Every structure is written in C-alpha cells, then in structure tokens.
Amino acid sequence: MRLTTIIFLAGIFAFNFYQCKQSTLPGSSEHLETITAAISDDALMNADVNHGNWTTYGLNYREDRHSELDQINKDNLEQLGLAWTLDLGTKRGIQTTPLIVDGILFATGPWSVVWAIDARTGQQLWRYDPKVPREKVTEFCCGVINRGLAMYEGDLFLGTLDARLISLNAEDGSVNWEINTKNDESRILSITGAPRIAKGRVIIGNGGAEFNARGYVSAFNAKTGDLAWRFFTVPGNPADGFEHSDLEDAANTWTGEWWTQGGGGTVWDAIVYDPEFNNIYIGVGNGSHWDRQIRSPQGGDNLYLSSIVALDADDGSYKWHYQTTPGDTWDYTATQHILLADLEIDGQERKVLMQAPKNGFFYVIDRSGGELISADAYTYMNWATGMGEDGRPIEAPGARYEDGLTHWITPSTLGGHNWQPMTYSKRTGYVYIPGAVEAEPYQHNPNPETTLAGALGAQVSLAGRLYVPPVFDTHPEAPQPGMAYGQLIAYDPVKQEKVWSVRQAFHSNGGLLSTTTGLLMQGDAQGIFSIRDDETGDILWEYDVRSGVIAPPVTYMVDGEQHITLFVGWGGRIGQFGNAVDRIHPGTVYTFKLGGEAEAPEKLPPLEKSYTTLTTDAAQVNIGEGFNIFVQYCIGCHVNPGMGGGAIPDLTMSSDGIYNAYNSIILDGQLSSEGMPAFGEYLTEEEVEDLKSYILYTAEAFRNQMNPLEYMTNLATMQYMADMNPPKRKNIE
C-alpha cells in the first residue's frame, strides 16, 4: 500500500471517529435522539432483561420495580455516596418515576413540567412546561402532581393536569402533537398518572372522581395521536345506548340517575400491559359521589367502580373483571399499583396479578381468566370483617354510615395503601407495601350540593358536621381519631401473611425499589432515604435528603457504574396538609453511586412558625359560618387550621400583612400564580370576614393551648348555630 493511500485511509478513519464521537457526545441532542429512538416494542419487551435502563414506569411490563443490578450490595453500601444533586426550583410535591436511557433521565414534576437531565453531570439538558392554566387548580383533588412519562421510538408522552396528552420529541422537548383527552367538556378531568405503551399505542386514563367524572381509558396511536379505542368504566344514560356491549350488564348494577353525576370510576394510576395474555389491566377508581346513597340510591354493586378490569390490548374490549369493593361508598379505589408475577401456589405455577388497593385487602388474581386465587387483610380494617367464600368482602354492620351517625372507618380515604409504588422481589418472594394507617369520619350528607368543594371536589359528599354523634372503633388495633402513621410492610403473597412491618412516624412516605442484592429502598416523610435489608427490614444505610419524600427511587447504569436516583419534593394530597421536617426544601434530585463524594445542598435552618397574635371579636354564629365555608372551599388544600401545615400553609400562622390582604388573596387571586385560587365568584367580603374570624379564633385557641375537646365542642356548637341560622350565603341564595 502506498503511503498516500495509508494517509488517505487514516484520514477517513479519523474523520469517522471524530464524527462518531461528535454524534454520541453524551447529553447532545444527537445522543438523546439515538438512545430514545431505540426504545421500540422489542426494547420494552426486553426491559426485564436490560436493567441498565429504566424505560417504562414500573421498570418492566410486570411493573415489579425489582432491579437485577448488583454492583451496589450489602458489602459495599458504606461506600455509597452522593454523586450530584439538582435543584429543580419547585416547591410542590414530586411523585415522578424518571425514565432513563444511557444515563439520560426524563422526569416530571409539579404542574406537569418535564425535565431531561444528564446523570453523568447532574445538569438539566432541557425543560418543557405545558403551561397548565393556574386557575384550573380547583379541578385537582390531590395537588399539582404527576407520576411520570412513557417513552417510545424517540418520543415522550406526557399527561397534563388539564387532561391533555402531549407527545414530545425526546431530543429537545419540542412538541410533536397534543390532544385533549376529554370526551365531554362538561366534566372535570385531569391526568396525574404515567401513560403506558402497548403495541405502538399510548394508553392513558384520567383523574376527577371527586368531581363529576365518568371514567374511561383510551389508547392513542403513538405517532399520530389518533384515538384507537376507548373503554368506559361506568355506563352512561341507558337511553343513549351503550358505547360497548358489556356496559349493558354493568348498568344493571346501578340505580337512580347516576349518569347525571358522572359516576366516577376514573383510571388514574394502574394501567398494565401483559403481553403473555394480550391483556391490559386497569385499576378503576372510586364512585362519584363518594356516598352510594347519593350516587345509586337503591344500592347495587356499581360496576366497574373499584375493580380490576382486563381489556383486550388490540381493541380495548372487555375480557373479565374483579370488583374489590362492591358498591363503594368509602373512596376505596382499586387504581393502586398492579404487579404481574408467576407464583407457585399449591404446587402449581400460576400467572398472577397482585394488588393492595385502598380497602385493606391484598389480592392475588389469576391473569388467565380473572379467578380470585386469594385475598386477605394486609392492614387493620373495620369496614369488613373478612373475605367471603364468594370473593366478596363481608361488610361490618353500620360501615355504610346509612344511619346518619359519624362512623370512624379504617382504612381512611387515604387507603391502607395509596399510589406509592410497591415492589415485588423475586429474591425473597415478598411484595413490599408502602402503607398507611388512619381512620376517617364518614357522615352521610343529606344536602350534598353545599359541602366540600374547592380542590377537594364537589362530589366528595361527606357532611363534615362536628355535632353529629360519632361511632368510635374501640378495637385495640384501631387508629384513634386524629392519629395516623405510615407502615412499611413485607408481605408474602403465597401465604397471604405479613412477614415484617415497620411503623413510620408520618402517614405518607415514598414508593419502593428492591434489588437482587437484597436491598429495599425508600425515602420517607422525615427526609431520610433509607436502604433496608429485604428480609428483616433493618436499616443498612441512610441519607438525609432534607425534605420529605413521596417519589420512589430508581436505579440504572451509567458508563459501567450503578446509580440510584431519588426525586425529593414534599407535597401531594397528604403532604399539602402536614409535614415531618423542620423546613420544606425545594424540589431536588439526589443521585448516589459507589464512591460518590458530592456535597449535599445546604440544610436550611428550621422555619420558625407561630400562631398569629391577631384576635377576633366576631359573633359565634359568624365563626361557625367561617368554619363551614372553610370546610366547603378550603379544606381540600389547607389543613384544619392550627395543625401546622405542609406544602400549603396553615392559615393560623400567616404574617399580619397576609390577614390584611385576605380580600385580594382570597377573592381576587393575588397568589393565583402560586396555586392559590381566586374565590371571588363564590364568596363575598362578608364571608371572607367570617373565614378570617374562624381562623383567628382557632389561632387564639391553639396559642392559649385550649383543651382540644373544649375547642372541638365550641366549634361544634358554633357550627350548629350557623347551620340553624345561616348568615346569607351568595352560593346558596
């Protein structure tokens, strides 16, 4: 070969090498394009083999969140350190599970905002804000949260709080297409859940059963956004005909004119594709109204509320269902995490799905045809006394609160377990449940139009009358009113028994991750990220992440190094009301690896909060009326005054300037860009005055450490006075 040829060839080689280097420079838009374009149907099917990436919400189609990565293990945990952190500049709850390919994270946060982050550097690559109109904030029950994205062939799919589905180009966050998922503009719907991909389609449901939603799940063509199929979870008005034939049978389980109220049944979280049976399992939510007496007055099971429904993945047609809570009247959604697994039960290999929905029962169901294999309580409950032979819960007498008294029922509407993802460890064979224990006062409301609106939802329909006599649960295990705590449970699904559990100080903690090396990871409300032994629950390693955690951790590989990432951002339904750290810190991404030596962000000093010293001389009836207005409009976001507050402030602890600005804040929307709605359409200045007098009365009671029983009795009396002789109200004129 002649020298010139060699130089020529070397030149081409160098040029190609340079090109290649250029095009794959990690974090470049070419890099993002290449790595995300590879997420095809095949890649998603193989997500269970390649654990270096995290390409679908639950890690794989089984959604088991059990990683086979083994670089980080019990022997080297003491070397686990911080690789980097990233301040997202947010102050509300973060529930996201990021999607990760080749070290690039795609995650969601408050107000449905999306971030692309390079795990090599901890730098933001791009940010996309779908600009959810802030005045929509009264249409979400549970904070301005989002749980994550779907990824497919170079695109990302985002569901927004205002119910849009958006396809983004993963390369730079530019919009490919955007559609409105609402089928009926008169209904209030939102999206907080992560879309899923099945056979080139994006599957997504909605939230909104605290309002007037009629639930459904839809499949859209991932390339075009065209609707492929839609399955309704609640029948509409029979006079209009049914969208699919199974709804005719479903309609026979309803009474009255449920369709005028929507009926509920939103699919706001679990959507699982099962390639083995070509099924999509959806978890269906609660009824709307909550109270069956209002929703379906002559009773009935109200299908498919609180059910797991199997649909044909090709056309969305009904295959089978199992209803966890027939005739739901407690907000017992079955939207919680659905896990797929193969278990050996009575010497037989069974292909099962598992769920621990709000109602407190753990279910193991045969995926082939929907047969209930077993169900048992994973937590204390008093609404049911056990599971009947017929697969229906045996309801406790009085649990339906139809006698007009206030029944303290467990689990509460928070559920024995809520949206926080569980994990199933193939290593131990246990399912780990991030649970909670709390009782809730259920009280029938004969006048459902006038209570509980605002962000809690007009169709929550509980009365909230303090003077209605209570029925307490005196069982030694029963949580007493006002007492709530978290519970991390290791559960054996084959034996249907608790293996171990850990009591946690606060009743809302993060989702879970397990690994093949015997590690169980969770961030908690106290701002501690802990790694436990999956067999004993003992803490092996922990790290102070400054603020309470609700999101689940994830793990992945970057250039040969195993990383663990946890999104920290306190908020969500429970986090709005309460808090277990001295000070809530801004939303921050924490990433760990062996030998990581980055410095943690500064721990800010505790926020000194104290009750206002302003006082009121308002008449008792006005204070009682102020309380009623608070219960109707404010309690969806603000905790009962005096209790401390979480991501949203406790109104007894504001500065004087805030009390002076009440009219402009509450009526004119002075803080609306921060998610505090304007109530000018609903309330008058006199009513704001009543509200303020209730807040100031309460502040004084707490400041002077009034006996809680005395305070409650006084408030009940004042509420009774206001109910008997209501000051004129604009909204009920």
Q: Site for ligand HEC (CB under 6 A): which residue of 150, 339, 387, 651?
A: 651
Neighbours of 232 (CB within 10 A): 22
452 touching ligand HEC, by CB under 6 A: no
In the complex, the smallest distance separating the C-beta of residue 191 from ligand HEC, rounded to whole angstroms, is 17
674 touching ligand HEC, by CB under 6 A: yes
In the complex, the smallest distance separating the C-beta of residue 616 from ligand HEC, rounded to whole angstroms, is 14
658 touching ligand HEC, by CB under 6 A: yes
In the complex, the smallest distance separating the C-beta of residue 82 from ligand HEC, rounded to whole angstroms, is 29
638 touching ligand HEC, by CB under 6 A: yes
Stretch of residues binding ligand HEC (CB under 6 A), selected from 196-204, 214-222, 405-413, 675-683: 675-683
In the complex, the smallest distance separating the C-beta of residue 722 from ligand HEC, rounded to whole angstroms, is 16
CB neighbours of 193 closer than 8 A, spacing ≥ 6?
A: 147, 159, 204, 205, 207, 267, 268, 269, 271
Amino acid (one-letter) located at 157: F
Give CA–CA dist 613/652, Å, rounded: 9
Site for ligand HEC in 681-710 (CB under 6 A): 691
Q: Long-range pairs for 243-248 at CB < 8 Å and ≥24 separation? A: 244/317, 244/318, 246/317, 246/318
332 touching ligand HEC, by CB under 6 A: no
675 touching ligand HEC, by CB under 6 A: yes
CA angle 179, 572, 131 (to 5 degrees): 35
Stretch of residues binding ligand HEC (CB under 6 A), selected from 202-210, 443-451, 599-607, 666-674: 666-674
In the complex, the smallest distance separating the C-beta of residue 418 from ligand HEC, rounded to whole angstroms, is 19
In the complex, the smallest distance separating the C-beta of residue 305 from ligand HEC, rounded to whole angstroms, is 25
654 touching ligand HEC, by CB under 6 A: yes
410 touching ligand HEC, by CB under 6 A: no
637 touching ligand HEC, by CB under 6 A: yes
623 touching ligand HEC, by CB under 6 A: no
Amino acid (one-letter) located at 671: L
Q: Please give the biggest Cα pair distance in the chain.
A: 106
666 touching ligand HEC, by CB under 6 A: yes
- Among residues 380 and 694, whose Cβ is nearest to ligand HEC? 694
Amino acid (one-letter) located at 274: D
671 touching ligand HEC, by CB under 6 A: yes
Cβ proximity of 101 and 53 under 8 Å = yes
Stretch of residues binding ligand HEC (CB under 6 A), selected from 257-265, 329-337, 414-422, 668-676: 668-676
- Among residues 492 and 686, whose Cβ is nearest to ligand HEC? 686
639 touching ligand HEC, by CB under 6 A: no
Tokens for 414? Answer: 């928070």
Give CA–CA dist 125/35, Å, rounded: 15
550 touching ligand HEC, by CB under 6 A: no
**How many Å separate Cα 516 from the centre of its chain?**
26
Rounded to the nearest 10°, the torsion over CA 20, 25, 27, 30 is -20
Stretch of residues binding ligand HEC (CB under 6 A), selected from 290-298, 541-549, 601-609, 659-667: 659-667
Tokens for 453? Answer: 């609106």
Stretch of residues binding ligand HEC (CB under 6 A), selected from 20-28, 29-37, 100-108, 630-638: 630-638
- Among residues 380 and 662, whose Cβ is nearest to ligand HEC? 662
Stretch of residues binding ligand HEC (CB under 6 A), selected from 123-131, 262-270, 285-293, 645-653: 645-653
Give CA–CA dist 233/285, Å, rounded: 9
Cβ proximity of 435 and 356 under 8 Å = yes
30 touching ligand HEC, by CB under 6 A: no
Site for ligand HEC in 453-482 (CB under 6 A): 454-455
In the complex, the smallest distance separating the C-beta of residue 476 from ligand HEC, rounded to whole angstroms, is 37
CB neighbours of 313 closer than 8 A, spacing ≥ 6?
A: 198, 199, 273, 274, 278, 279, 280
Site for ligand HEC in 196-235 (CB under 6 A): none
Give CA–CA dist 110/570, Å, rounded: 10
In the complex, the smallest distance separating the C-beta of residue 584 from ligand HEC, rounded to whole angstroms, is 11
Q: Site for ligand HEC (CB under 6 A): which residue of 111, 304, 611, 633?
A: 633
Cβ proximity of 121 and 131 under 8 Å = no
552 touching ligand HEC, by CB under 6 A: no
Neighbours of 64 (CB within 10 A): 23
In the complex, the smallest distance separating the C-beta of residue 541 from ligand HEC, rounded to whole angstroms, is 34
Q: Site for ligand HEC (CB under 6 A): which residue of 111, 220, 408, 679?
A: 679
Q: Site for ligand HEC (CB under 6 A): which residue of 649, 680, 726, 727?
A: 649
In the complex, the smallest distance separating the C-beta of residue 145 from ligand HEC, rounded to whole angstroms, is 12
- Among residues 126 and 679, whose Cβ is nearest to ligand HEC? 679
Neighbours of 348 (CB within 10 A): 7
Cis status, amide bond into 475, omega within 30 of 0: no
In the complex, the smallest distance separating the C-beta of residue 230 from ligand HEC, rounded to whole angstroms, is 29
Cβ proximity of 612 and 696 under 8 Å = yes
Amino acid (one-letter) located at 503: R
634 touching ligand HEC, by CB under 6 A: yes
132 touching ligand HEC, by CB under 6 A: no
Tokens for 316? Answer: 């969305």
Neighbours of 480 (CB within 10 A): 11
In the complex, the smallest distance separating the C-beta of residue 505 from ligand HEC, rounded to whole angstroms, is 24
- Among residues 475 and 730, whose Cβ is nearest to ligand HEC? 730
Place of tokens 């029925």: 471
Determine whether 674 is exposed, middle or buried from the number of CB atoms within 10 Å of its CB (0-12, 13-18, 19+). exposed
Tokens for 223? Answer: 């390339």
Tokens for 330? Answer: 């407690």
CB neighbours of 20 closer than 8 A, spacing ≥ 6?
A: none
Give the closest residue to 453 by CA, choosing from 210, 145, 144: 210
Site for ligand HEC in 133-162 (CB under 6 A): 137-138
**# residues near ligand HEC by CB under 6 A:** 24
643 touching ligand HEC, by CB under 6 A: no
Give CA–CA dist 524/177, Å, rounded: 37
677 touching ligand HEC, by CB under 6 A: yes
- Among residues 119 and 666, whose Cβ is nearest to ligand HEC? 666
State how far the alpha carbon of 592 is from the alpha carbons of 408, 605, 703, in Å: 43, 24, 43
Stretch of residues binding ligand HEC (CB under 6 A), selected from 76-84, 211-219, 520-528, 664-672: 664-672
Tokens for 231? Answer: 């399955």
Q: Which residues bind ligand HEC (CB under 6 A)?
A: 137-138, 454-455, 633-634, 636-638, 648-649, 651, 654, 658, 662, 665-666, 671, 674-677, 679, 691
